[in-house]
Chains A and B, each alone.
Chain A
């Protein structure tokens, strides 16, 4: 059965209303994201993200799990 746009719109409106009522349409806290990661590790993360090593590691980590494939 094909899903109509109207069905999707109605589902989204219900979800949005429930999330709004629960205060979930914004993060729980607004402000700077601060983490306690040492500079040497930040540099390593930067290298992995720029070189594609992180993305390859992610593909390896979820290999065999099609639900987590980003494709």
Chain B
């Protein structure tokens, strides 16, 4: 099992073509990919607010129908991506050592419950340190063109 961050979730939802993304997509097809509510929320926040990137420019140049299709695709987490509820995770989050923020505690608790690795798109000392303290591995996945 793999618990992925918001950027890797986006790569899976957009069916990106790189080798790393292909591995994640294969894992998702096998039912091996989970994310967290916090990472899903981060992705929703980015999609909801206009920015400076290529996605914002492409959306601005798209028809209303295309914009609706994109928002529908990114707003609804597909059933093929697992997501553990806070009902399960909060007791585990409370038992983790240290003072962790919500995103970190949820990710590490999910990995502990699932016996999973965590995969992130960029170095994340908060997540890496907390995960290491309870024996959870963190992989940094390079999203190259």
- Which residues of A does B touch, CB under 8 Å? 2-3, 5, 7-8, 10-12, 14-16, 18-19, 24-38, 40-58, 60-62, 66-71
User: Is B101 a contact partner of A67 (Cβ separation < 8 A)?
Assistant: yes
Interface residues on B, range: 35 or more
Known: A15-B89, A45-B55. A70 touches B5 (CB 8 A): yes
Is B33's CB within 8 Å of the partner chain A?
yes
Q: Is the interface of B mostly helix, strand, loop or mixed?
A: helix
Chain B positions within 8 Å of A16 at CB level? 113-114
Chain A positions within 8 Å of B53 at CB level? 44, 47-48, 51, 53-54, 56-57
In addition to A42-B14, A66-B101, A70-B42, 5 A-B residue pairs with Cβ atoms within 8 Å of each other are A15-B92, A24-B88, A30-B30, A45-B54, A53-B55
Roughly how many angstroms separate A71 CA and B57 CA in the complex, as a whole number?
27
User: Is B121 a contact partner of A49 (Cβ separation < 8 A)?
Assistant: yes
Known: A27-B34, A54-B55. A12 touches B124 (CB 8 A): no
User: Is B96 a contact partner of A3 (Cβ separation < 8 A)?
Assistant: yes
